[in-house]
Structure 1
Amino acid sequence: MGSNRGVTPTVYVSVDVEADGPIPGPYSMVSFGAAVAGWHDADGFRRAGGQAASFYRELRPISADYNPEALAVSGLDRAALEAGGAQPAAAMREFAQWVERLRTGPGGRRYRPVMVAYPAVYDWQFVYWYLIRFTGSSPFGHSGCMDLKTLYAARAGVPFAGVGKRSMPPELLPDLPHTHHALDDAREQAVLFANLLEWPGVDAAERA
């Protein structure tokens, strides 16, 4: 067994966002899903598997502005969201509480939550903005986020520009559909993240 000395145990939370525009504030996050991807501590990484804890909400828009093409990606109906979507303040409080519960992990250890996404620069801006705007704080702190495109570029030793799922080795790609339903896509991302952490990298794979 390893020692926890110098290691901060981490629980990775895959999050996917669907929105009706490019930035939060003028536009709205219409849905988001989250799934535990795994735990990482001095004993190594353990993926969460198919029964991972998850969270999903569809949200009431926060502004009158929206981009019809962006909204269409999610397949959600704006009138239905305005009538029956969750209030953002309530949904973000519930999400923050759900993430806080993940701090207690396997073996009763305390874990720090880190959000993972693909690409994180898009999903993180909505999640962090909504958390700060509607709850005043973030369970991920101000920088607890990891981008899967960056992770792949570093592990593969390739330039970031041009990185996409089509450029990744087939064995890394999840055998799950990308539906643009936020929870489905969060679960897909969770598998991709676990595959990347367990992947030996290009050099090791070529040596094998």
Structure 2
Amino acid sequence: MAQITLEQTFAKNAPAGLSRTVPNTKSESKVDVYFSADIETDGPIPGPYSILSFALVYAGSYDGKTFKRPRDYDNHFYRELQPISNEYEPEALAVNGLDRDLLIQTGMLPAQAMREANEWVRKTAGDGNPVFVAYPLSFDWTWLYWYFVRFSKRGSPFGHSRCFDIKTAVSVKSGFPIAGSGRSRLPNELLPKRAHTHHALDDAIEQAEIFANVFEWEV
């Protein structure tokens, strides 16, 4: 019996007016290009409250087989922003130490900051797929995604879902539950060299180190 090929089957059953060629089922594979992100805010949620500073740090790449850790973390982006509302929580300012009153005068407009950040991420990623990295992901992603969509004409350079949660990766690799996978519970071999200072750039670099350690960790 003659063998019917996939091309013949598709051509026979394709509705009139549609291309009678087999669709390409092999999507182009691109390298993931990771960006460690950290933000400092004046409250718990975007909209009513504001990002006061944020940093993005090139954190490595992965082609599906090999993870490449950067030689250093000098490739980064950092901005301090004007608040977008009059609302703030003193507790948040006490943690990050930023002068909100000064930023009202000297901070960059969010539209300019997000445009420049978008351009930097896309340029740094090149032909790769930018992936947002945070620890935990939920807080930083929520804020920066909202700001990109709200203030950048090009939207988010990370799409709506290209993101990596270090906390989940620690849980999966270590066998700890999510509740026990915070920074304070990291095994010694995953600890970064840098301290957590609540300065966005310092913490994004520290987080990038943790990310690389977790990615390369053989349990």
TM-score, scaled relative to structure 2? 0.84
Instruction: State the number of aligned residues.
Output: 192
- 1:103 CA displacement: 2.1
The answer for the alignment partner of 1:117 in structure 2 is: 134
1:90 correspondence with 2:107: no
1:153 partner letter: S
Structure 1 spans left out of the alignment, 5+ residues: 105-109, 202-208
The answer for the alignment partner of 1:198 in structure 2 is: 216
- The DSSP-based 3-state class of the residue aligned with 1:161 is helix
1:183-194 equivalence runs, <5 A? 183-194=201-212
What is the rounded CA distance, in whole Å, between the counterparts of 2:115 and 2:183 in structure 1? 33
- The DSSP-based 3-state class of the residue aligned with 1:178 is coil
1:45 correspondence with 2:45: no
What is the rounded CA distance, in whole Å, between the counterparts of 2:187 and 2:28 in structure 1? 33
8 A Cα contact 1:37 1:52, kept in partner: no
Residue number among 42, 47, 51 corresponding to 1:29 in the alignment: 51
What is the rounded CA distance, in whole Å, between the counterparts of 2:105 and 2:125 in structure 1? 34
1:154 correspondence with 2:172: yes
What is the rounded CA distance, in whole Å, between the counterparts of 1:197 and 1:7 in structure 2? 20
The answer for the alignment partner of 2:95 in structure 1 is: 73
- 1:145 CA displacement: 1.2
- 1:72 CA displacement: 1.8
- The DSSP-based 3-state class of the residue aligned with 1:27 is coil
**TM-aligned CA distance change 1:159 to 1:6, over 3 Å:** farther
- 1:84 CA displacement: 0.1
**TM-aligned CA distance change 1:119 to 1:61, over 3 Å:** same
Q: Displaced runs of 4+ in structure 1, greater than 2 A?
A: 5-8
- 1:52 CA displacement: 3.8
- Percent identity over paired residues: 52
Q: 1:6-25 CA deviation, whole Å, 9 max, x = no partner?
A: 74310000000100000000
1:102 partner letter: T
Q: Larger radius of gyration, structure 1 or 2?
A: 2
Q: 1:27-60 CA deviation, whole Å, 9 max, x = no partner?
A: 0000001111101114500111324410000000
Q: 1:135-190 CA deviation, whole Å, 9 max, x = no partner?
A: 14100000111111111001112211222122221110101011110000000000
- The DSSP-based 3-state class of the residue aligned with 1:196 is helix
What is the rounded CA distance, in whole Å, between the counterparts of 1:122 and 1:11 in structure 2? 21
Structure 2 spans left out of the alignment, 5+ residues: 1-26
1:135 correspondence with 2:152: yes
8 A Cα contact 2:50 2:85, kept in partner: yes
Cα root mean square deviation, aligned = 1.4
Q: 47-56 or 133-142, which moves further after superposition?
A: 47-56
The answer for the alignment partner of 2:15 in structure 1 is: none
8 A Cα contact 2:34 2:130, kept in partner: yes
1:159-198 equivalence runs, <5 A? 159-198=177-216
- 1:70 CA displacement: 0.5
1:184 partner letter: D
